[in-house]
Chains A and B, each alone.
Chain A
Amino acid sequence: MTTATTSTCPECEEIVPTAPDARVTSIVVCPACQVELEIIGLDPAEFALAPEIEEDFGE
């Protein structure tokens, strides 16, 4: 069980909210700098820059 929480963007230090159903590995977008962040911890939320899209990524 997690609770909604906030932490800061590692790129621009803006506060980034996370939804109550967020989970580790979820991707969120920083509301300030728009960088994609991966949630690496919860309670409190911790973010890292999301893995870059690689050449062979797709569907």
Chain B
Amino acid sequence: MTTSVSQDGLLAVLTTRVRLEERLIFAALERRGVPYAAVDDRTLISDLQAPPPVRYRGVLNRIMSHTRSVYATRLFESTGHRVFNPSGVIEVCGDKILTSLALVAAGLPTPRTVVAVTPDAALGAIEEIGYPAVVKPAVGSWGRLMSKVNDRDAAETLVEHKQALRSPSHSVFYVQELIDKPGRDIRAIVLGDQVVAAVYRRSEHWITNTARGATTEPCEITPELAKLALRAAEAVGGGMLAVDLIERSDGEVLVTEVNHTMEFHGLAAATGLDIADLLVSHVLEAMEP
């Protein structure tokens, strides 16, 4: 990785956009007196045959693009850098199909999921789930392009529209049952082997995502919730993770996804916890010899 000034020995914080979360992380590092370098992912260049011009103490990855994140992490790891989170975790968490495979393999409760890898098979996958079904992009976030499909007419239209996008990623269909949740879901923050915070995300809309206007309020971390969140984190490789869970109307709690570059400003405001400092603390402890 090339940079203009010698930054050996610093903690690198990889960024795409410096949002509130990144500013809070920088502030936490500065309060702790931890030397760091904010590294914009738009500046990264890697010569695969040459030794890295910079030897960072560690790398905290806050890249927003899944594709860029996977490659940047692998490039840093190839030069012996320890990256938080590691590439294996990013690859699994950034792809809903791989996440579901990991959750199912670990025997965790998760919504019923059917995948079709071509538009030709998509209708069959949707009808296998039954109506209403939820179709999500395998890669993406913030509730974007999620579709609730109520009947066959809607399913046929959705498949046709996704085909029209002529993108390989939109030709893969990730289909789940719609969970009759109580107007909220749960987000639990896992750092290593601890669940440090949890919130309810409440919305009148069927998508309960803070990026879509959901509000947050504290959620008690019961032993059952902690166990489920930790098992979900372990299933994807562990690290610094935001585990999203959803309640069925009968009270059963399901794991829906695990996020590897968590946004936390709403959660921090709702709980009063300094999540940025907890993240930094986790990274520093993990880097100790």
Residue from A25, A50, A53, A57 having most chain B Cβ neighbours under 10 A: A57
Contact of B3 with A by CB under 8 A: no
With A25-B38, A26-B23, A54-B65 known to touch, is A59 a contact of B17 (CB < 8 Å)? no
Please name all residues of chain A whose beta carbon is closer than 8 Å to the beta carbon of B42 when the two chains form the complex: 51
A58-B94, A58-B142, A59-B141 known; A27+B67 contact, CB < 8 A: no
B37, chain A: closest CB distance, angstroms: 12
List of B residues within 8 angstroms of A56 by Cβ: 65-67, 94, 139-140
| B75-83, B217-225, B257-265, B275-283: which lies at the interface | B257-265
Binary flags per residue of B31-63, CB closer than 8 Å to A gives 1, else 0 = 000000010101000000000000000000000
A59 near B139 (CB under 8 angstroms)?
no
Note all chain A residues with C-beta closer than 8 A to B40.
Answer: 25
Is B254 interfacial (CB-CB < 8 Å)? no
- Asked if A23 and B65 sit within 8 Å, CB to CB, the answer is no
A11 at the interface (CB under 8 A from B): no
Q: Which of B17, B26, B169, B262 contacts A27 (CB 8 A)?
A: B17
Chain A CB within 8 A of B161 CB: no
Q: Which of B15, B67, B169, B259 contacts A59 (CB 8 A)?
A: B259
Interchain nearest-CB distance for A45 vs B (Å)? 14
Taking Cβ atoms with an 8 Å cutoff, the residues of B that contact A are: 15-19, 23, 26-27, 38, 40, 42, 64-67, 94, 137, 139-142, 169, 242, 259-263
CA distance A53 to B141 in the complex (A): 11
Query: Which residues does chain A contribute within 8 Å of B142, judged by CB atoms?
Result: 57-59
| Chain B residues closer than 8 Å to A54, beta-carbon distance | 65
Task: Name A's interface SS.
Answer: loop
Which of A's residues lie within 8 Å of B, judged by CB?
Answer: 21, 23, 25-27, 38, 50-51, 53-59
A-B contact pairs, 18 of them (CB 8 A): A21-B23, A23-B26, A25-B15, A25-B38, A38-B17, A54-B65, A55-B169, A56-B66, A56-B139, A56-B140, A57-B66, A57-B142, A58-B66, A58-B259, A58-B261, A59-B242, A59-B261, A59-B263
Complex Cα distance, B263 from A53, in Å, reads: 15
A53 to B64, CA, bound (A): 9
Tell me which of A23, A51, A55 contacts B17 (CB under 8 A): A51
In the assembled complex, the Cα of A52 lies from the Cα of B142 at a distance in Å of 15
Instruction: Name the residue on A nearest B167 (C-beta).
Output: A55
Are B17 and A25 in contact, with the CB atoms below 8 A? yes
Least distance between B58 CB and chain A CB atoms (Å): 20
Q: How far is the CB of A53 from chain B (nearest CB, A)?
A: 8
- What residues of chain A lie closer than 8 Å to B17, measured between beta carbons? 25, 27, 38, 50-51
Residues of chain A within 8 A of B262, CB atoms compared: 59
Given A25-B38, A25-B40, A26-B23, answer yes or no on A58-B16 (Cβ-Cβ < 8 Å). no
Determine whether the beta carbon of B16 is less than 8 Å from that of A51. Answer: yes
Q: Bound state CA distance, A1 and B67, in angstroms?
A: 35
Q: Which B-chain residue is minimally distant from A54 (CB atoms)?
A: B65
9 interchain residue pairs of minimum CB distance: A58-B141, A56-B66, A25-B18, A59-B259, A57-B64, A26-B18, A59-B263, A59-B261, A56-B139
Question: How far is A53 from B17 in the complex, measured between Cα atoms in Å?
Answer: 10
